[in-house]
A and B are shown apart, each in its own frame.
Chain A
Amino acid sequence: MENNAFYVALSLLLNLDASLFQIVALSLQISLLAVLIAAVLGFPLGAAVAIWRFPGRGGMIVALNALMGLPPVVAGLMVYLLLSRAGPLGEWGLLFTPGAMIFAQVVLVLPILAALSRQKVEELLGEYREQFVSLGMSHSRMMPTLLWDARFALLTVLLAGFGRASAEVGAVMMVGGNIDGVTRVMTTSIVLETGKGNLPLALGLGIVLLTLVMLINAGAYLVGELTRRRVG
């Protein structure tokens, strides 16, 4: 069966299967957009928790760390209840659209980006704090400086977030509905084909997904290495 799967994966790619492309494109759009939004929200959040002392800070750190392990299917269920017509955000009409899937993945990825950036920024702050205070930097001024200084580590954090988003199926299945041509992505396709007993096809799709994620990670690594050499 494993041999079958490789042939299937290869033939899917070589035949430039149109529906495959559509599914791959949708998967990438959703996960990349979700990671982007989560970064815009999560990195400043992580930096803020690292920089400021406030009551409940310890609890917040524990919560962020714990939420990194939020089961996707639970996140999916919670977002479904939020976005359902019977729920508080029903007016938005987001359910069973790619928008809902992005929403759910942001919920999953945000804790990862916030928790890991917090840790990295706190590390850097240990090194920089005295000099920053000496230079006259306010806490809020420290935030962008630290985030930019941590950029190489944060790239890896972004990849971790992307890995989580592109790999999960529980959340997108629940809030997207796996609608053919509208909300069907790589992972939900794999579940569907497995359910139909088309195991070679399912495995083939899995190989395509893995290859894609591998390429993205390789690209990010190269970009990281090239810029790191220039900046030390």
Chain B
Amino acid sequence: MTAFQVPRLASSILSPSPELCFKDVSFSHEDKVLLGPCSFTLKGAGPTLVMGPNGAGKSLLLRLSHGLLLPTQGQITWSGEIRPRQAMVFQQPVLLRRSAVANLIHALAVNNVPRRERVKLAHDALERFGLTACCNTPARVLSGGEQQRLTLARAWVLSPQVLFLDEPTSALDPAAIKAVEAAVHEFHQRGTRIVMTTHDLHQAKRLAGDILFLSGGKVREHSPAEAFFEKPVSREAQAYMAGELVE
């Protein structure tokens, strides 16, 4: 993966949402097919919430989309000529053993942002996500919610066109969940394409623009959020919504 040039005007509206296309994609490990084959296209403004029972392959799908894994078969393509800038937030926040602001400055340095601009961009992002008070605190002693907001701030400074989130709030308390969801909304407002996995129905209802429903390693349904929540089409989605255990 290559590092991208971060645009100078970090808060401007970004160019139209890139589209992600999966074509006959499957992923196997040691002769066991864990995901696929599946084909779909993510387009429109999003946010896309990826739902499904545990083990359905949601995290795998996210990692394949982001390029952390390569598909065993099939193709994953983006619209447009250049691959869009992306960032990812993980379930457990991954932060370096340095202060909060130093973590952001490091991300900027890695992406070749000129030294003079790094500090300002970092502090602006911290402010946006309500973390100014802890800017010099060691990142690892922050609370779970603060750490997750910090990883979002780190993603923010890189002005990603696409933001992947893998169950970012599953380990957090309600107040923290609220703060993180507000942060995700900031990204959406700015024009970042959101693709997020969740096992929380209500969170999906709060955030989703469209739903991608997985179970047993296959895509069972892909529909606009309103339609999905009113009446899911697939048998598995229906069972899931009814609270039944789904494989």
Q: State if A and B touch, Cβ cutoff 8 Å.
A: yes
**Interface SS of chain A:** helix
B residues contacting the other copy or chain, number (CB 8 A): 26
* A135 beta carbon closer than 8 Å to chain B: yes
When the two chains form their complex, are residues B140 and A232 in contact, meaning their CB atoms are under 8 A apart?
Answer: yes
Residues of A142-162 contacting chain B, CB below 8 A: 145, 149, 151-152
A130-B90, A137-B110, A149-B96 given; A232·B68 CB < 8 A: no
Q: A145-B96, A145-B110, A232-B140 are in contact. List 5 more A-B contacts (CB 8 A).
A: A134-B88, A135-B111, A136-B3, A138-B3, A231-B138
Find chain B residues with CB under 8 A from A128 CB.
94, 96
Find chain B residues with CB under 8 A from A230 CB.
138
Contact of A232 among B86, B90, B138, B158 (CB under 8 A): B138
When the two chains form their complex, are residues A131 and B90 in contact, meaning their CB atoms are under 8 A apart?
Answer: yes
Find chain B residues with CB under 8 A from A149 CB.
96-98
Contact of A134 among B66, B96, B140 (CB under 8 A): B66
When the two chains form their complex, are residues B2 and A136 in contact, meaning their CB atoms are under 8 A apart?
Answer: yes
Find chain A residues with CB under 8 A from B87 CB.
134-135
Q: Name which of A136, A137, A141 has the most chain B CB atoms within 10 A of its CB.
A: A136
Q: What's the count of A-B pairs with C-beta under 8 Å?
A: 53
* B40 beta carbon closer than 8 Å to chain A: no
Residues of B89-117 contacting chain A, CB below 8 A: 90, 94, 96-99, 106-107, 110-111
* B76 beta carbon closer than 8 Å to chain A: no
Q: Give the docked Cα–Cα distance between A37 and B4 (Å).
A: 36
Q: Give the docked Cα–Cα distance between A127 and B63 (Å).
A: 16
* A133 beta carbon closer than 8 Å to chain B: yes
What's the nearest-Cβ distance from chain B to residue A202, in Å? 44
Q: Give the docked Cα–Cα distance between A158 and B210 (Å).
A: 54
When the two chains form their complex, are residues B1 and A136 in contact, meaning their CB atoms are under 8 A apart?
Answer: yes
B140-159 vs A, Cβ < 8 Å mask (1 yes, 0 no)? 11000000000000000010
Q: Give the docked Cα–Cα distance between A67 and B106 (Å).
A: 35
Q: Give the docked Cα–Cα distance between A134 and B141 (Å).
A: 23
Find chain A residues with CB under 8 A from B86 CB.
134
Interface residues of B (CB under 8 A from A): 1-4, 63, 66-68, 86-88, 90, 94, 96-99, 106-107, 110-111, 138-141, 158
Q: Give the docked Cα–Cα distance between A127 and B93 (Å).
A: 10
What's the nearest-Cβ distance from chain B to residue A189, in Å? 42
What's the nearest-Cβ distance from chain A to residue B143, in Å? 13
What's the nearest-Cβ distance from chain A to residue B195, in Å? 13
When the two chains form their complex, are residues A133 and B68 in contact, meaning their CB atoms are under 8 A apart?
Answer: yes
Find chain A residues with CB under 8 A from B98 CB.
149, 231
Of all A-B residue pairs in the complex, the 3 with the closest CB atoms, nearest first, are A232-B138, A131-B94, A136-B3
Contact of A136 among B94, B99, B111, B138 (CB under 8 A): B111
Find chain A residues with CB under 8 A from B68 CB.
130, 133-134
Find chain A residues with CB under 8 A from B67 CB.
133
What's the nearest-Cβ distance from chain B to residue A151, in Å? 8
Find chain B residues with CB under 8 A from A136 CB.
1-4, 110-111
When the two chains form their complex, are residues B1 and A133 in contact, meaning their CB atoms are under 8 A apart?
Answer: yes
Residues of A95-147 contacting chain B, CB below 8 A: 127-128, 130-131, 133-138, 141, 145
What's the nearest-Cβ distance from chain A to residue B7, in Å? 15
What's the nearest-Cβ distance from chain A to residue B134, in Å? 12
A136-B2, A136-B3, A136-B4 given; A232·B97 CB < 8 A: yes
Q: Give the docked Cα–Cα distance between A232 and B158 (Å).
A: 25
Chain A residue nearest to B141 in the complex (CB) = A232
What's the nearest-Cβ distance from chain A to residue B151, in Å? 8
Q: Give the docked Cα–Cα distance between A135 and B6 (Å).
A: 12
Chain A residue nearest to B95 in the complex (CB) = A131
